Structure 1
């Protein structure tokens, strides 16, 4: 019984060099070759703590806002939003927040969604200094751990909820 002819058998195969040329032309036409080269170069130079998040943030916000703070690994766009939140809680502009200022903030914006006991426990998780005040740095370190696995959309929603 004769084997039926297949459409694929009628195609002329492109030589590997021709495929490579077409692929290269596509990458160049869309600027992907430069984007990936720059991305890899920046990653090797900056060595971000979370390379995958750095790639995502670079593509979403640009390399300037994707840079990660060395101590916390927070990308600049997240750090800025957290500092805005910190300043809202730090009503006396000391650069530090107390449990009382956090309680006042949650009473005003958080309603009854968190108990005093849970709030005190959370405050301890910030690891306040001997003065029992949380610095911006401690605040950023805490939220860098809390938000590490969050996609940007979930992080933005968290900040919106905390600032609402």
Structure 2
């Protein structure tokens, strides 16, 4: 079923064109070196856009755990994210929303529109996101649920 969704996404809805455009924007950011974290996130997002029914976007901290970063790196990242959101993130989200509305115009485009709507957060803040196989994302969700359940049980026992 996922293969069929990916075929429908890439053939009639030209998903590969969207993926290529996002990849080129990401590559442009990587070349500037200053905005490389955003560029790498957009390249991961373009990988997701090639096969959106087979991959999921997850936060890097969900995979690696919370790594302590120094305060200068956090400040730089915050400034970089703010500039990206204002000048490129919001326009790209608006264009994607138009694409989602167009996909909802046909019955066959509804699943594609839902997948694109789920990925809007990544488009708005691509830094620290990684494209992983759907099964890996499901395993991360199960692990997260188990840890929350264990924490809840621990609180109830006290």
Q: TM-score w.r.t. structure 2 length?
A: 0.21
Counting helix residues as a fraction of each chain, which structure ranks higher?
2
Structure whose CA Rg is larger: 1
Q: TM-score w.r.t. structure 1 length?
A: 0.21
